[in-house]
Amino acid sequence: MASPSAGPAELGFVEAAPSWRLRSEQFPSKVGGRPAWLSAAGLPGPPELACPLCGRPMAFLLQVYAPLPGRADAFHRCLFLFCCRTPPCCCGLRVFRNQLPRRNDFYSYEPPSEDPPSETGESVYLQLKSGAHLCRVCGCSGPKRCSRCHKAHYCSKEHQSLDWRLGHKQACAQTDNLGNTVPDHNFLFPEFEIVIETEDEIMPEVVERDNESEIIGGMGEAHEEDLESMAKHESKEDKIFQKFKTKISLEPEQILRYGRGIAPLWISGKNIPQEKDIPDCPCGAKRLFEFQVMPQLLNYLKADRLGRSIDWGVLAVFTCAESCELGIGYAEEFVWKQDITDAA
C-alpha cells in the first residue's frame, strides 16, 4: 500500500434539494432516499445487499460521484455505501463502485441540463432504462414480484411483507397508479444533496497554533520539567483525537471528507487498520483510501426512530487503486468502521 499523501481534502455538506436534482441523470452525490444508480444494468442483487452479519436487507446510506480525470472508462464513476439499520444488528456495511465511459447506453454524451425539467413531480421511479425493476421499499434490485398484481417488485420477502402491511394490500388492484402510491415505509434515510467544497489547508494550522499559544500562555507559571512530564503522559490516542477535533473545528457541519490517496482523518489511535487489514481488489491491485463519512451525518439521519440504531466515529472507504474496468457491473469495495467508543 502506497504511503498516503497529506493533500487537501474535499469536504461534503448536506443541503436540501428538489427531487429532480437527485436523479441518476444529474449524476448526484447524495445522502438517503433510494439509490440514484449509475449503470442501469448489472445492479448488485439481494445477496450482495444483505447485511453480512444478520442477513437482512441493508439501507442505502449515501453515494459519491467521483469520476477519474484522464480515465476514459471512468468518465462517470460513483461509489454507493449501504448500512444495516435493522435492530438489534445495525452494524453491517457494504460499498460498491460503478463506472462508465462518456459514451454509454444510459446517458447523453452532453452534460445534464441545469434547468429543472418541465415535469417535476415527486413520482418514485421503480424501473430503470434497462428494464430492471426496483424494490418498492428500498430502491434496490427487485427480482421478486407480487403474485397478485405482478406489478410490484421487491428485493426480499421482508420488504414485500412490509409494503403489504403499509398499503399495497389496498393498492394492489390499482396497478396503473402503483408508482404514485408508494407509502413511507420508515426504512429510507432522509434525502439530501451532498455539496462539495475544498478544505482550506492554511487555517486549521493557524487555529492549532493559536490554541497551543493559549494553553502555553495559561501555564506561564508552571515549571519546565512539569510541562515535559505532561507532554510525555499525553497518549497517542489523545493527540489523534485532538487533531480530529481541531481539523473539523472550522467546518463542524462536514459530513464527508474526500481525497483519493490522501490520509484518513481518524477519530482515535485505536482500531486504525494496518495494510494487512485492507484486502486487495480481486483484480490484484491494492486498495487505497478514497473517502470517509463523518459522525456529523448521524445528526441528519433521524436514525434513532427505530430504537437501537446505527452509530460510528469514522467510516473509511478504500477502493481499487487501479479502479479496474467493470464492464457495466458494480464491484464491491471495502469499508472500515472506527467507532466513537474507540475515542473514549
What pLDDT, in 10s, does the model give residues 7-53? 689 999 999 999 999 999 999 999 999 999 999 889 999 999 999 99
How many residues can be counted in the chain? 344
Q: Give phi and psi for 46, each to the nearest 5.
A: -55, -40
Grid coordinates representing 4?
A: 498516503
User: pLDDT tens-digit profile of 222-267?
Assistant: 445 544 554 554 577 678 999 999 999 989 999 999 999 999 999 9
Instruction: Give the integer Cα–Cα distance in Å for 307 and 303.
Output: 8
In this structure, the number of other CB atoms found within 10 A of the CB of residue 176 comes to 7
Give phi and psi for 261, each to the nearest 5.
Answer: 90, 0
Tens of pLDDT along 323-343? Answer: 998 766 899 999 999 987 766
Residue 216 has a CB neighbour count (10 Å cut-off) of 11
- Side-chain half-sphere CA neighbours of 223 within 13 A: 3
Q: Do residues 247 and 296 lie in contact, with contact meaning Cβ atoms separated by under 8 Å?
A: no
**pLDDT at site 287:** 97
In Å, what is the CA distance from 14 to each residue of 17, 54, 182, 191? 9, 30, 25, 9
How high is the pLDDT of residue 203? Answer: 52
Q: What is the mean pLDDT of the chain?
A: 85
pLDDT tens per residue across span 274-313 = 999 999 999 999 999 999 999 999 999 976 654 567 899 9
Q: What is the pLDDT of residue 215?
A: 36
Distance CA 147, CA 150 (A): 6
Q: Are 98 and 80 in contact (CB under 8 A)?
A: yes
Distance of CA 332 to the CA centre of its chain: 13
Interatomic CA distance for residues 334 and 337, integer angstroms: 10
> Distance between CA atoms of 177 and 166, rounded to whole angstroms?
16
Helix (H, G, I), strand (E, B) or coil at 59: strand
Give the per-residue pLDDT at 305. Answer: 53
Neighbours of 134 (CB within 10 A): 22
Work out whether the CA dihedral 7, 239, 207, 227 comes out positive or negative.
Answer: negative
**pLDDT tens column, 173-228:** 776 656 556 878 889 999 999 999 998 754 544 444 444 444 334 334 444 554 45
Q: What is the pLDDT of residues 125-144, one digit of tens each?
A: 888 878 889 999 999 999 99
pLDDT for position 179: 57
Q: Tell me the H-state helices in 126-262.
A: 157-163, 169-171, 203-218, 224-233, 236-248
- Structural element, H or E, at residue 301: helix 298-301
> Rounded mean pLDDT of 85-106?
93
Q: For residue 123, what pLDDT band results from cuts at 50, 70 and 90? A: low
Question: Residue 206 has what pLDDT?
Answer: 45
Quote helix, strand, coil % in the chain, to nearest 5: 25, 20, 55
pLDDT band at 124 (very low <50, low <70, confident <90, very high): confident
**Residue 14: what residue type?**
V
Sign of the C-alpha dihedral computed for residues 284, 288, 290 and 291 taken in this order = positive
Q: Average of pLDDT values for 92-118?
A: 92
Confidence of residue 60 (pLDDT cuts 50, 70, 90): very high
Which three-class secondary structure state does DSSP give residue 174?
A: coil
